[in-house]
Amino acid sequence: MFGLISLIRLHFIPKLVSRADLVKQYGRWAVVTGGTAGIGKAYAEELASRGINIILISRSKEKLEAVAKDIAETYKVETAVIVADFSKGREVYSSIKEALRDQDIGILVNNVGVFYSYPEYFTRLSEDKVWEIVNVNIAAANMMVHIVLPGMVQRKRGAIVNVSSGSCCKPTPQMAAYSASKFLLAQYIPEWFWVWGMQILNSALRRDAVSHRIY
């Protein structure tokens, strides 16, 4: 049932909605984590092309400012940046929450992620790598939703996109921690749908082989 409803809401209904309606449908601002390259940047550019103002969150101030400037000049929208290294864990979220306070956040794209330097069995991963995957791939999405979802529910509109992976749904013995983290991102979507599905659009992008620098 969830799959059928998602198919209709994500692929059929949007065909009936004007490109100019995104701001009215969701809100004035979108937040994209890991938005300075690859999939995150592509999301930011597409949303900006449809009139949405963009807030980019990543760890490199130089890259953030360059991408934000390019988007603002190209698509004539407002942009803002938040410098945050999600691998640091809990300490980064108070400043993010403060920066997003009172903003009309209509769309959240949870894109930030880290991968292995090379495929490796779980027992051979360092503790630092395990915590990096937990903090960046899992905690970041959880906390970003925790920050912006109350406002979406209050306004009765909004959209959340979790960038997952095709590896979440198949055996990946040398990417176990990464794949498990992406499974969680995908699984959250139906869970959120049954609570807020009539108000908040939820979607998980399960990408497979792509060429870009993660995080």
Contact between residue 59 and residue 81 where contact means Cβ atoms under 8 Å apart: no
Q: What angle do CA 58, 109, 6 make, to 5 degrees?
A: 165
Confirm whether 178 is a catalytic residue: yes
Catalytic residue among 75, 178, 188, 215, which? 178
Closest CA to 160 of 133, 121, 186: 186
For residue 56, give the DSSP letter. E
Q: What angle do CA 183, 144, 159 make, to 5 degrees?
A: 80
Contact between residue 202 and residue 193 where contact means Cβ atoms under 8 Å apart: yes
State the catalytic residues. Answer: 178
